[in-house]
Structure 1
């Protein structure tokens, strides 16, 4: 069992994290030492939507006698009231006594209420969370635990659609650093994006005060007062920038857009506010999480990521978008420029329909007149999907410049009719790979939600590999004979810049010159190499490990089989755990290996960890040359 405590000053709460132990293991049977009186109204208490636990101070608060445990605590510990009542807490549950003794004693001596938050983890996943108040009343200590945050026994079939939309909503708000709140009847409702910005979790009293304004730095307190006075004066729309200091000490610049609704007598009915973290454009030059994702598209000038493209203000585009439409990011006007310059009435009407929310998905190929000039045209593909979660609406999309591919396709049409679909199929492969990455991101958000930097490293590495693959293949028509060595050299260079310089890791590769592979093989192969490399980066090297090195070698075993040996010189792995069954990373590697029609196994190496991957050199190709 691992126990960690920390005091969160902003919330005046002590947070207690308990890992790798069940609540049943926290209670031990001992003979009762005291006869306690029954708590009045016990039946009523057991029907309240909370747990009430009552302790009697013993020996001046040096220990505590259990008078009653709540119904939920008894059920989770699989114990009966007679098993615990009348026992000393230190004997019946030494672990809880160690956790709570100082807090219970302080409340007993000062009579001041304390707030706690218990977080129970199993396999690095949050299994249950409960907020607790410790109260002194009538010479007793009472713990009241709210159970509305229990994360047990969920029905996955009933919740799978909600989880799907919640994941996409979290993707948008987490990476774009946007959020919003509603204020109705003097109560606030905050989206998850706001908590991402201020870097703290939800609390039970958040609906009663402005949790963002509370963080304003002293210099901006007068500005907060001015904003509140302006909004209270009956202004329907207002915009301002406020500086806050997050609980972990980071200064952020937030752009607020307020929208108020009044009745016919001028009384406020509701207020809605959009909040955007614009720290990047401030003088502080702090990198936001969205930048890591958008930077994954820097290697390609033909493929752009669109985050919330249907929102006129709260949108984020990768740099390649502005390269494709040839517009200045600083003066670009969302929606208008694109629609005005599309030379295809059907696509224009589809755009208008999705803007009016008459359709939820847009998938079009169209001709784009750069700056309205019909003599300067590009052929583009666009995919936008719209979805809702709760009261929030979001969208995500991709824009691809397929002009050069389209021209090549037309030039080859007379020679071979089958070439018409060549480039389009390749772009569909890129689109499918992006959907796979979205799936990986959703899986890792749940598995590593307390390790956002790890998720970002994984995603940036995968995006860099696919962007590299796209950049190198769209200029060629030979998708059956792609030289592997060029890709591995470039991949090592990008890993060196992305992670090597930061973590002090060296990447070395040896590839036989004559290994050429089709796009069906090289795509999953590069992703497998990415996952194995990230696995070593994550597990192999403690911070002070000397000479961190990851090596790869590729060779032909025969005319039909290739071999990859990848090794690190890190701490190694327990041989009894070499089963590749329970790790999320291993599951991803196994699925990619299956797609590759390959075979992967552990290597017995003297130092560190090694893998051997056998993969086919040829595979049935769906694109004809």
Structure 2
């Protein structure tokens, strides 16, 4: 057994939903602990249109002794009076003890009447509903139950009138601003939607008179008399609009539809009424409970609530709807405006299918030309559901402006595509750089086959420069704007750690901080700097040379030309060999300079060796950023 409880403030009632109660929980055959006095007037009680259960408090309300149960309770449990009288409730019916103990104990201690509503569900469907008053009298607790309806057996004369799950019907009434009632044997039963419309709570006398007709304004009283005459004349269906004034003094317009059922002799058996609040928008701010829903969308400019959007006359939309489609609420007509401005033909056809009721649910994403302007478009999502209630068709939906989200999604898709291109570019450049390093390694293996330490130093330096390039550039995916100073500074640190500490060489660099280069330029430039640096390390400094220093100065000469000056303070070179044709290192430098579209020459310096490299600051890039 599952139990759910909720307090309904408007009705001052505790609602108890009981699902799948078992026979074992409902009744246990146990021995009595007390001989209870017989209830007088038993025959009278059996003929009352209600059940009465009487309990005697036990141990100060910790438990309760059953004095008697009503006829319906006995029939449901298929038990006799003598099976339950004098038994403890907790032992005889543990299920009901669990449900009622707190309420029974509270009424016993406070002596204040409590109201309960029981809704019994079986296999997920509402099977029975009853309203109960829990009363303290003569030091006993009395439960007075009025059976409202069952799903297994309808009231006599209600054929054709569907009885709804109360929770679901209240929600539908709330959305559609409707309420309903049925009248059987001169008694009225009103749904919660009616009380929402007239803005008051239930009263126990409401079943004895028409609570709507009592509120009709004086000018419409003759109309009520006319309606009554029409209904009493034998009309099966009738419709009219009346005006009422609520208890708070607000005038409302109500669309009333009446359905009557007669027996074979023409006598009225039952009547069903559907009431819809069609009050004009000028008064809606405080009069209708559905405005709570509409007001919940006031701050939203992207999401709109649509109430009865398929009704050309009685639709209501939250203000955001008119913001989305950029239309004036006062002049908007719920006809062709939306369809005429939808771009996608498939979406328009889905709308038309819904209007023809070929489908009962619409879910579409479409492009909307605001005021018919194809240069001013929005991307929207719409959801509309059609349902029937009270022998009438209703609909509810939501319209969402997803333009910004759509644009962001497209940008993300474009970014993903660009990322794929970048990844391919990275793989391509890694492959090329590895091929270059492999070529250098093959050349140096032949040139320095007896000096493996030189080969290792060169390869470590080149790998360090390329690793630095990968680390800084590929992680940011910016192949066009690489800051040169950051790379040269980091390259000096790595060379210092790799060789400087070992050989006592200091590296000093001055780089214009505004120089940014593309990947096509910086890759061969770093390798040229690396080769020139390694040449100085290899040839410039004898073992006992003091203050070994290699300096670099890089700056802009003009808008498209950069200059690199690299010098060492070593032993220098033979001036007759300044044509850069005599060593493998010089050949590698010349090839890299050609790849760079640059120009390199020796410098005349007082001590050591210097080179001047001119290189372009811009070069056509292979990737469109």
TM-score clears 0.5: no
Task: Select the structure with the greater relative contact order (CA < 8 A; seq sep ≥ 6).
Answer: 1
In terms of Rg, which structure is larger? 2
What TM-score do the two structures reach when normalised by structure 2? 0.41
